[in-house]
């Protein structure tokens, strides 16, 4: 299932590499010496979670169905226009951010507001509906950053 989720993300222009750049950006000032490999490992751990895979598949399917006008109204237009009071995309994403604790929610809020990297490109697309996709990317990056933060905290706890 993880491979299917990754494949469907890639079909929408979402790569693990682009997510890793966001994770690195989130954590670099907190973890001197952070390497991209650590970011990739954290993302891989996030993507291993079945609930994350389900969230990815659900969100991307809704984006595609909205793009193809296969959802009933008014939900089709709400998703296509990413209506500001439609918060279901964020609710789905928050399910991902919580897998490594509430620090992920804080990072998600920051990324949702700042639209860093791929998140901004997805959000501003005039070709594709990415109402769920941009939040899914922010959520995966936030959860991976939280995993790194937890691992760093845990390993430094025993050094003193």
> Please, what sign has the CA dihedral across residues 125, 128, 129, 134?
negative
The DSSP letter of residue 31 is S
Identify whether 42 is part of a domain.
Answer: no
Region 93-106: mean pLDDT is: 92
> Which residue stretches of the chain are H helix?
2-11, 16-27, 36-48, 50-67, 75-80, 88-97, 103-114, 118-123, 133-157
Identify whether 75 is part of a domain.
Answer: yes
- Is residue 109's pLDDT more than 50? yes
Identify whether 40 is part of a domain.
Answer: no
Identify whether 94 is part of a domain.
Answer: yes
Give the residue with greater pLDDT, 24 vs 100. Answer: 24
Q: Could you read off the pLDDT of 43-78 as tens digits, one per residue?
A: 999 999 999 999 999 999 999 999 999 999 999 999
Identify whether 17 is part of a domain.
Answer: yes
Q: What is the mean pLDDT of the chain?
A: 93
Q: Percent of the chain having pLDDT more than 90?
A: 90
Q: How many domains does the chain have?
A: 1
Residue 153: the pLDDT is 57
Q: Could you read off the pLDDT of 120-158 as tens digits, one per residue?
A: 999 999 999 999 999 999 999 999 999 999 887 544 444
Region 95-103: mean pLDDT is: 91
Q: Which domain holds residue 112?
A: 2-31+47-154
> What CATH number does the domain containing 136 carry?
1.10.3760.10
Identify whether 160 is part of a domain.
Answer: no
Identify whether 37 is part of a domain.
Answer: no
Q: What is the pTM of this model?
A: 0.93
- Is residue 82's pLDDT more than 80? yes
């Amino acid at each position: 299932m993880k491979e299917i989720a990754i494949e469907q993300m890639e079909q929408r222009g979402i790569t693990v590499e682009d997510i890793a750049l966001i994770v690195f950006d989130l954590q670099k000032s907190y973890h001197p010496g952070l390497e991209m490999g650590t970011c990739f490992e954290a993302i891989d751990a996030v993507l291993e979670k079945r609930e994350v895979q389900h969230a990815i598949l659900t969100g991307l399917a809704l984006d595609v169905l909205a793009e193809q006008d296969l959802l009933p109204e008014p939900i089709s237009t709400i998703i296509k226009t990413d209506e500001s009071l439609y918060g279901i995309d964020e609710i789905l994403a928050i399910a991902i951010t919580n897998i490594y604790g509430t620090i992920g929610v804080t990072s998600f809020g920051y990324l949702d507001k700042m639209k860093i990297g791929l998140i901004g490109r997805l959000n501003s697309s005039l070709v594709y509906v990415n109402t769920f996709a941009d939040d899914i990317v922010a959520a995966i990056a936030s959860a991976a950053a939280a995993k790194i933060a937890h691992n760093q905290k845990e390993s430094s706890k025993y050094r003193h």
